[in-house]
């Protein structure tokens, strides 16, 4: 079973190729870190994985159902936290109301609070809770913690790992924050210039590139992609 399986995956916007001939075979059960320079094609890959856009050519298969947390963790400003949970319940047949309510309490969100008045960290926690309560097989997160302070980010990442364990799901997380990737990811994909520069289990990549840290490894592959 594979979380992501891509063959010759290509996505063009007009003449520009955001992804070109990408092959991926990510085994299930991992928290996958997706990194690469600006414009590398990360968001494009995640949108393809969520079915928001379609490939120009090639294929991308995703294991099971997907819960997506977009870059700006969108919520409805005039709806309360509780309204968001009720809406999730209406819209999703597999909605896990108990999980959603428990997580809201655990992260200290006030159910009566309007989402527009939440802090960035609280909004990110709400968006993650909404995605997880759909009980997806795969959680996909596009730079969800970029705007959070280090403490809120740490709490968010811990929640993410907690959800992944609880749901028995996989996760793919795109981030420019290599410390975050090193903290939670056990599988790494480096994209550069629309191509897969390297992909594999973090432990194996580090063993193959001794004595590099994950940060050094990523910077090495990113700078090679930029130099090309």
Ligand X SMILES: Nc1ncnc2c1ncn2[C@@H]1O[C@H](COP(=O)(O)OP(=O)(O)OP(=O)(O)O)[C@@H](O)[C@H]1O
Contacts to ligand X by CB under 6 A: 13, 16, 18, 36, 38-44
CB of 202 to ligand X, least distance (A): 20
* Beta carbon nearer to ligand X, 67 or 194: 194
Bridge partners, 22 (sequence order): 9
Tokens of 35: 């990194």
CB of 179 to ligand X, least distance (A): 17
CB of 69 to ligand X, least distance (A): 14
Tokens of 14: 């007009």
- Residue 45: alpha-carbon gap to chain centroid: 11
* Beta carbon nearer to ligand X, 39 or 58: 39
CB of 98 to ligand X, least distance (A): 35
* Beta carbon nearer to ligand X, 41 or 88: 41
Question: Is the torsion defined by CA of 198, 63, 43, 9 positive or negative?
Answer: positive
* Beta carbon nearer to ligand X, 43 or 159: 43
* Residue at token pair 């004595």: 211
Strands 187-192, 170-174: pairing kind: unpaired
* Beta carbon nearer to ligand X, 85 or 140: 140
d(CA 41, CA 89): 33
CB of 186 to ligand X, least distance (A): 21
- What does the DSSP assignment read for 85-138? HHHHHHH-TT--HHHHHHHHHHTT--TTSBGGGS-HHHHHHHHHHHHHHT--SE
């Amino acid at each position: 079973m594979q979380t992501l399986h891509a063959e010759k995956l290509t996505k063009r916007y007009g003449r520009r190729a955001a992804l070109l001939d990408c092959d991926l075979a990510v085994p299930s059960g991992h928290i996958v870190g997706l990194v690469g320079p600006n414009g590398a094609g990360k968001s494009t890959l995640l949108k393809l994985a969520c079915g928001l856009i379609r490939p120009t050519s090639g294929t991308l298969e995703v294991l099971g159902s997907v819960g997506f947390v977009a870059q700006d963790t969108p919520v409805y400003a005039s709806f309360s936290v509780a309204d968001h949970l009720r809406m999730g319940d209406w819209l999703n047949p597999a909605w896990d109301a108990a999980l959603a309510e428990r997580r809201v309490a655990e992260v200290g969100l006030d159910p009566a609070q309007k989402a527009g008045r939440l802090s960035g960290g609280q909004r990110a926690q709400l968006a993650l809770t909404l995605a997880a309560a759909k009980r997806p097989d795969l959680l996909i997160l596009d730079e969800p913690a970029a705007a959070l302070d280090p403490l809120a980010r740490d709490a968010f990442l811990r929640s993410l790992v907690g959800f992944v364990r609880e749901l028995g799901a996989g996760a793919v997380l795109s981030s420019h924050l290599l410390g975050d990737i090193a903290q939670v990811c056990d599988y790494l994909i480096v994209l550069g210039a629309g191509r897969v520069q390297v992909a594999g289990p973090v432990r194996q990549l580090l063993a193959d590139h001794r004595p590099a840290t994950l940060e050094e490894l990523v910077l090495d592959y990113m700078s090679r992609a930029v130099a090309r």
